[in-house]
């Protein structure tokens, strides 16, 4: 993996703009996203990471569990309004863009060719150039950016938001209250193949710390807006009832050692009770 200089510079920006690593929405994977609700909310385009978001790392095929969600996404936004932006496929180390062609074939959407890794500003410019070249151009505030890495995907989405710039333009007009100013940053927290787990753990701890800091400084109305956003755009997690395995040794040891475990009544011998009842 080549050295990601733009990603290494993120901690320095974090000192001045800690909110740059905070996603708008966190989900386990894209199956939790309500793409139709996102479309109804005004989002017309989508940028996706590849590795551990849509595919297993270093593979080009879609993870089978995501088939239905990916189909729904393509039907909702349209093929051309979805763009794969990866730090592997479509970069300089992808000689002849062979991997980009393979990913585009298997996922049925275009893959961005770019020389600068995420979250570099030249990569952001390439994304903007692609969406502005569409017959019906898509603006920054009409995009969702989905990925599993905080220092690349989430930071890139927030860098496209004018309010997160390190040196904001003085000529930028003041946005109205509640108005969107940039893409919706969506962080997928589960991985399909374990890799860089120490770095992922550090990212989660850092995001949690910044979120706690934001809560202390924010008003309740803003926090309620974040909760409302999750309720509108994220599907409820399906309830999965797991049958308790009572055949293993672990179950019986737990029952014996737990003084608060509810004892199960012995099976009732109906025939015996019937005979006693008749005799009385």
pLDDT in tens, 175-218: 554 567 789 999 999 998 888 889 899 999 999 999 888 776 66
Among 12-21, 98-107, 190-199, 261-270, the least confident range: 261-270
Same domain, 263 and 228: no
The percent of residues above 90 in pLDDT, for the chain, comes to: 53
Same domain, 124 and 9: yes
Same domain, 255 and 116: no
Residues in contact with 214: Cβ distance below 8 Å, sequence separation at least 6, in sequence order: 19, 22
Residue 219 scores a pLDDT above 80 = no
Residue 80: band (very low, low, confident or very high) from pLDDT cuts 50, 70, 90: very high
Same domain, 23 and 154: yes
Same domain, 258 and 227: no
DSSP SS3 for 82: strand
Same domain, 263 and 151: no
Same domain, 224 and 259: no
Rounded (to 5) percent helix, strand, coil in the chain: 50, 10, 40
Among 99-113, 126-140, 242-256, the least confident range: 242-256
Residue 132 scores a pLDDT above 50 = yes
pTM over 0.75: yes
CA distance 43 to 21: 21
Same domain, 68 and 150: yes
pLDDT at 99: 95
Same domain, 189 and 269: no
CA distance 2 to 39: 36
Is the residue at 244 inside a domain? no
Burial letters 7-17, b for 16+ CB under 10 A, else e? beebeebbeeb
Among 21-30, 223-232, 247-256, the least confident range: 247-256
pLDDT at 174: 53
pLDDT at 18: 86
Same domain, 200 and 111: yes
Is the residue at 241 inside a domain? no
Domain with residue 214: its CATH number is: 3.40.50.1000
The residue segments making up the domain with residue 256 are 249-279
**Strand 184-188 vs strand 143-147: parallel, antiparallel, or unpaired?**
parallel
Radius of gyration of the chain (CA): 25
Q: Where are the alpha helices (DSSP H) in the chain?
A: 5-8, 10-16, 35-40, 67-77, 98-107, 121-132, 155-159, 197-217, 220-233, 249-257, 270-279
Residue 277: band (very low, low, confident or very high) from pLDDT cuts 50, 70, 90: very low
State the average pLDDT for the chain: 82
């Amino acid at each position: 993996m080549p050295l990601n200089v733009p990603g290494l510079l993120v901690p320095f920006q974090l000192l001045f703009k800690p909110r740059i690593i905070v996603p708008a929405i966190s989900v386990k994977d894209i199956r939790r996203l309500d793409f139709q609700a996102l479309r109804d909310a005004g989002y017309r385009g989508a940028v996706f990471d590849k590795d551990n978001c849509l595919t297993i790392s270093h593979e080009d095929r879609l993870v089978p569990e995501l088939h239905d969600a990916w189909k729904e996404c393509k039907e909702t936004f349209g093929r051309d309004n979805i763009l794969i932006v990866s730090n592997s496929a479509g970069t300089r180390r992808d000689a002849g863009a062979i991997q980009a062609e393979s990913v585009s074939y298997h996922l049925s959407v275009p893959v961005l060719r770019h020389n600068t890794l995420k979250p570099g500003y030249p990569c952001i410019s390439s994304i903007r150039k692609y969406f502005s070249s569409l017959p019906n151009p898509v603006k920054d505030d009409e995009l969702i950016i989905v990925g599993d890495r905080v220092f690349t995907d989430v930071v890139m989405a927030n860098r496209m938001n004018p309010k997160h710039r390190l040196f904001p333009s003085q000529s930028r007009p003041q946005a109205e209250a509640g108005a969107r100013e940039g893409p919706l940053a969506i962080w997928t927290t589960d991985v399909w193949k374990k890799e860089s787990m120490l770095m992922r753990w550090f990212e989660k701890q850092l995001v949690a710390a910044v979120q706690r800091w934001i809560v202390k400084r924010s008003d309740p109305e803003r926090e309620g807006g974040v909760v409302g956003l999750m309720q509108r755009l994220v599907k409820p997690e399906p309830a999965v009832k797991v049958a308790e395995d009572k055949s293993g040794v672990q179950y019986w040891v737990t029952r014996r050692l737990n003084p608060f475990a509810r004892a199960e009544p012995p099976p009732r011998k109906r025939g015996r009770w019937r005979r006693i009842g008749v005799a009385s």
